[in-house]
Amino acid sequence: MTRVAGGGEAGRAFAPWPRRGARARGLLVLAGLGLALPSLFSDGPAGAATASPLSQFLLKSYEEPGFAVSGRPSTITSPSGLIASGSLTKSESKSFAGTLRKAGFVKAVEENTTGKGSNEGISLVMQFTNPAGAQAGAALFLQVAKQGQAASKPFSVAGVAGAKGVTVTGGAGGSANAYWSAGDCAFGSGVYQGTVTSAKAAAAPVQAGIRAQAKRVGTTCP
């Protein structure tokens, strides 16, 4: 899943999209460890807490081992709502939002997850007007997650076609973010684990979560 935030070497950040961090709301991207994966989420509310039909496709508690859903999902109705304040330049924000609009962005829902200690994560589901748009959305988030992360390592998810992600590890722990699509929806998820130091361990809960999520979602969304 990040709202896009900038990178560095250690700290804490996951980025599923261009927002900021899990508790700080959304990136499927943990950005802090130098983990600046797309953390497009902002620290303040990005959308209204709601029971959107899309919410059923978000990760459930413990589909990512050790992580439970925390709080209620929020709905985002504009591509710009996925961008945290200050996470991208004005031109980058315009380009990012424009790409999502062109892809047919309809709306998105997001939720936070928490684990032991400082471990945290995020789950994001974005609806587009067609499958091609959903694929483009997932590809865009993955691209943002990779940018500026020389030390990041890619990973895939066995059994889930097209699911790809990146990990970043450092002295402050490890984070992983991944994206994929099914039907008209693009999915993003990310976790930060404070005691993890290997790319394999950082990616493991995200991979397990996506496999469980994909099994529930199937090939049709919404």
Q: Which domains does the chain have, with CATH numbers?
A: 13-217 (3.40.1000)
State the sign of the Cα–Cα–Cα–Cα dihedral 39, 145, 175, 89: negative
pLDDT of 35: 35
Tell me how far apart the alpha carbons of residues 133 and 92 are, in angstroms, rounded to a whole number.
Answer: 20
| pLDDT at position 88 | 74
Q: What is the pLDDT of residue 83?
A: 81
pLDDT in tens, the chain (222 residues): 343 333 333 334 444 444 433 333 333 444 333 333 334 444 434 455 556 899 999 999 999 999 999 989 999 999 988 887 666 788 988 999 999 999 999 999 999 999 999 999 999 999 999 999 999 999 999 998 887 566 889 999 999 999 999 999 988 899 999 999 999 999 999 999 999 999 999 999 999 999 999 999 999 999
| Model confidence, pTM | 0.83
Distances (CA, A) of 34 to 92, 121, 169, 213: 20, 16, 8, 28
Residue 222, preceding bond cis, omega within 30 degrees? Answer: yes
Predicted local confidence at residue 30, as pLDDT: 41
| Cβ within 8 Å of residue 78, ≥6 positions away | 97
Q: For position 51, what pLDDT does the model report?
A: 65
